[in-house]
């Protein structure tokens, strides 16, 4: 993680990564493992069965995204 120290203190920063990946890839992305939970890494899953409409996609906090 390029900003691990900051992300550990401000986990909301990780919402930027989830949203950016979702927007760029065109599919919903969820973070399944995270440093903040003691997993020693972040693991992202691309939900290929959940395409997004890039034109209407709006930034949301990771905590607001449902699985």
Distance between CA atoms of residues 29 and 67, nearest Å: 10
Q: Mind giving me the DSSP string for 1-67? A: -TTHHHHHH-GGGHHHHHHHHHHHHSEEEEEEE-GGGT-SS-EEEEEEEEE--TTT-----GGG---
User: Taking the model in full, what pTM does it have?
Assistant: 0.82
Q: For every one of its 67 residues, what pLDDT tens digit does the chain have, with 9 covering 90 and above? A: 888 899 899 888 888 899 999 999 999 999 999 999 999 999 999 999 999 998 898 988 888 876 5
Residues comprising the chain, all counted: 67
């Amino acid at each position: 993680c390029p900003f691990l120290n900051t992300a550990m203190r401000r986990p909301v920063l990780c919402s930027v990564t989830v949203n950016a990946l979702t927007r760029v890839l065109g599919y919903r992305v969820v973070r399944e493992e995270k440093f903040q939970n003691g997993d020693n890494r972040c693991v992202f899953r691309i939900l290929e069965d959940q395409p997004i409409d890039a034109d209407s996609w709006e930034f949301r906090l990771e905590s607001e995204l449902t699985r």
